[in-house]
Amino acid sequence: MLNYLSTIPISPNAADFWLISRGVAEVFQKQIRERNLFLRGLFAWVGFKSILIPFHAGVRTSGKSKYSTPRLFKFGIQGIISFSKRPLQAAVAVGFIFALFGIIQSIYAFIEYFTDETIPSGFTTLAILISMFSGFQLIFLGIIGEYIGAIFDEVKGRPHYIIEEKVNL
């Protein structure tokens, strides 16, 4: 799901155990200033050459995992927030769908107002206002979310580029 939502490909079953070069360590020490580090995504984002070494994790013989289901869920949400704006874009898309539904429902309610005498007074107005404005609110909430997402990207302070190697300096 994270790879579907993210623009950075993250290796499935990747762990947070890494053997990194001094250059990568310096990038993380000097240029990556984020507080909530989602390392699985950041190592892919940095873009240095990497190799995955597959291994089989043995069965735990003692103790319990510190990661409960709610904590794993929170970890996944952190990864989505750190590397994806698609949920914000989905809010805009859902808003357009609800607005379209609201317009169709408004036309239906307007026609029913003139053809069905049993509709209570004021129902058509309420139906039109609620259905259309709900969709428009979602659209604008998604747009505001896009702006907040852009601000979030700036606040993270990730470097625009990373120099892997300096030659003749």
pLDDT digits (tens, 9 = 90+) for 120-163: 878 888 887 887 788 888 888 888 888 888 887 777 777 666 77
CB 9, CB 3: distance < 8 Å: yes
Q: Could you tell me the two tokens for 105?
A: 């429902």
Mean pLDDT of all residues in 46-70: 80
Cα(106)–Cα(109) distance, rounded to whole angstroms? Answer: 5
Q: Could you tell me the two tokens for 116?
A: 């069905």
Q: How many CB atoms lie within 10 A of CB 158?
A: 15
Task: Indicate the DSSP class of residue 157.
Answer: T
pLDDT at residue 53 in the model: 77
pTM of the model: 0.60
